Structure 1
């Protein structure tokens, strides 16, 4: 075999244990007992390291082309690699143009070509008036389609109304595609208080749980009526867990994600004026956070992805929560952040890998990603699960040094990241992906 990685502790499709993993041609060709495989190159992991599959982050706003000063393919993918992530799927908005037709997808692929350090897939966008473009985007290999139920924050990506959403869901049912939904109800938020000033509680009150609950109920009803697959993005309201569980028992094709910041932070600890913590939906109270962890434990929540949504410092460096951009920059630290909280609550690395690699890959139709198994891509993360570090935004690969994680102590350090059997270094070797089955 071209390469053998030998680990005293590995998380593989065959389970956790001591394994040798054999690689040829960028794919895993063997997973066997520790010490049994051989080849011209054998890499033996240190005693404190664990061999994991490369993580898969299906919720990343790269913002290129058009807003490259916010992030960009080079900086985003380098940050991903430093955080153990070997595949990202780029969101269709915050770039200009938004990815709402085949020409805009091609513009994005051209912007990324030859500049990505990890593999990159793409979501398409569903906005009013572009229903006729969805089939072409699907045939071009996007992983699915994203829509908003309220203003997205950028004018070029308007929300779908209920009638438009139902029509698009019927089309996606025919295509076998998934609709991923930013589920907050516009009317509920319009009736809430305004998020003015420096007090975090004002912002929290402006995005009540009810807004998520109402919107999620609408998505469930339409998914059930149309038979389409739907995915709830960045769940922050634990109130919705019961209806999500019931919908699944009723046979609705529904999956759900949450994000590291909802599992890490709590509203009670956010200082006034600390707009680096602003995101939509918002970080909620401690009790809500623990119920989200319970939702992961019982399987109601399928996966954890970053919702990396960066911006230039001037859009965050205001004390007014009503004016600051709503997004948390977290791509490079997402995995250690989740592992820190999971470890403290008694979860295993295998469970975290299920949430952050296996299930996101499956949800995005990337069947060779997210696991160490024969036939899968040889994408690996070498991880020291007991090593602590303090986050320093000045040392992250993100384009702009702004993050809610700055100064926070996390447990678990990514030592190296491997893409198709080669350790990621200073040269971009990532590929631009299409959904499995699309040539």
Structure 2
């Protein structure tokens, strides 16, 4: 047996734990994992010395906003996927907004897919939208290969992507159930948050704390409960994105115990920052749901450490600086830049600070999203999987300054973390090595697959 690539002596992070082993790659696929590989490499092959480094499965970021086409000046495939690759990601799932027009039909999906295949450094899947405007398009979107359907239960910030009313969400879940797709929901109560905002605005409030108070945890809990009810009644697969509170995670876990097909995502920013950081940093940390108190964050960590959180996704959602500049905090665009930092947060805050096992880091960032969205060759270091991996140095802290997203108005800048990504490899090809990127990608559009079709 010969190999195109042999990774030697690394500490492989697998679901069963961490093991020192060699990994052989042929044709972009992992073909052998052994204590020592003695076979030769091909004439134009590569050997990597991974001694002293951890080999993580490539991050599968299930929640990013790269905004192309239409708002490429906010973020696009070129800069966005460089940031992802520098953070150890080899796969991302792009949301249907803030592309303009949003991905609400087959034509928009196919246009976005073409651009992604031309410009992205790494493989990707595409979410389709679920709104009152496109219920008649859901069958076409499913046929075209969407990874799932995304609905907002509160205002999205963009009028062209309106919130799903109860009937829209219910009917969308029924359609998703027929097609075997997951429905992802932004779970905040539209009526609740709208009225609280109106009351605050009527009183002339415009500060950071005023905004935070307009979206309390109860608005998340109400929407989570409603989404769980609809999922139970329709039999749909539900994915609750960016949950910000331990109470919401616990409610979802209770639903799972009762037989609801539900998974939970949280984001690095909810695990790393608190409301006090928003008051200190300002616009770069505005998001919805907002960042919470230290006590709520500790509850969220307890739920994660108990295994009740399935996925950590970045929810990378940048915007130009002029949209993040105002004395009125309500008027600022709500989105955090974080495509490059998911592993860093899980390794520093999780592994080093809270004792999160490395195999749990790999599951949260790679294996679980790959499994949930039926990307069965992704997210794992095992024979037969795509050779997607990151070489990570864990033994020394570093300051994160070398950022690659579009605007770099990034709240993680200047932070001290563990887990410096040295190299990222996509299907046996280096896309990021020591600060340098491949000159071009060979990205593939990914569609959900069954085991029988692999």
TM-score category (smaller protein)? over 0.9
Cα–Cα, structure 1 residues 324 and 71, in superposed 2: closer, same or farther, change >3 Å?
same
1:357 aligns with 2:361: no
Q: Find the residue that maps to 1:43 and give its secondary structure.
A: strand
Deviant stretches of 4+, over 4 Å: 35-38, 195-198
Aligned-pair CA distance for 1:106 = 1.1
1:18 aligns with 2:23: no
Match of 1:218? 226
Match of 1:105? 109
Aligned-pair CA distance for 1:125 = 0.6
Partner of residue 427 from structure 2, selected from 417, 420, 431: 420
Post-superposition CA distance 1:407-427 (Å, at most 9, x none): 211221000000100111222
1:376 aligns with 2:390: no
Within 5 Å, which residues of 2 pair with 1:193-204?
A: 193=197, 194=200, 199-204=207-212
Q: Find the residue that maps to 1:156 and give its secondary structure.
A: coil
Post-superposition CA distance 1:365-389 (Å, at most 9, x none): 2111000111110011000013322
Aligned-pair CA distance for 1:78 = 1.1
How far apart are the structure 2 equivalents of 1:260 and 1:9? 24
Alignment length (residue pairs): 437
How far apart are the structure 1 equivalents of 2:148 and 2:395? 37
1:190 aligns with 2:198: no
How far apart are the structure 2 equivalents of 1:13 and 1:288? 29
Post-superposition CA distance 1:36-82 (Å, at most 9, x none): 55434453434331111111001000000000100001111111111
Aligned-pair CA distance for 1:327 = 0.4
How far apart are the structure 2 equivalents of 1:62 and 1:28? 29
How far apart are the structure 2 equivalents of 1:273 and 1:206? 19
Post-superposition CA distance 1:337-360 (Å, at most 9, x none): 221101211112211110000011
Within 5 Å, which residues of 2 pair with 1:44-193?
A: 44-193=48-197
TM-score, with structure 1 as normaliser: 0.95
Q: Find the residue that maps to 1:68 and give its secondary structure.
A: coil
How far apart are the structure 1 equivalents of 2:180 and 2:258? 20
Match of 2:345? 337
Aligned-pair CA distance for 1:10 = 1.1
How far apart are the structure 2 equivalents of 1:273 and 1:341? 19
How far apart are the structure 2 equivalents of 1:34 and 1:188? 59
Tell me if structure 1 keeps the 8 A contact 2:16–2:359: no
How far apart are the structure 1 equivalents of 2:193 and 2:104? 26
Match of 1:387? 396
Structure 1: 5+ residue stretches without partners: none
Give me the CA root mean square deviation.
1.8
Structure 2: 5+ residue stretches without partners: 432-437
Q: Find the residue that maps to 2:412 and give its secondary structure.
A: coil
How far apart are the structure 2 equivalents of 1:36 and 1:291? 49
Match of 1:206? 214
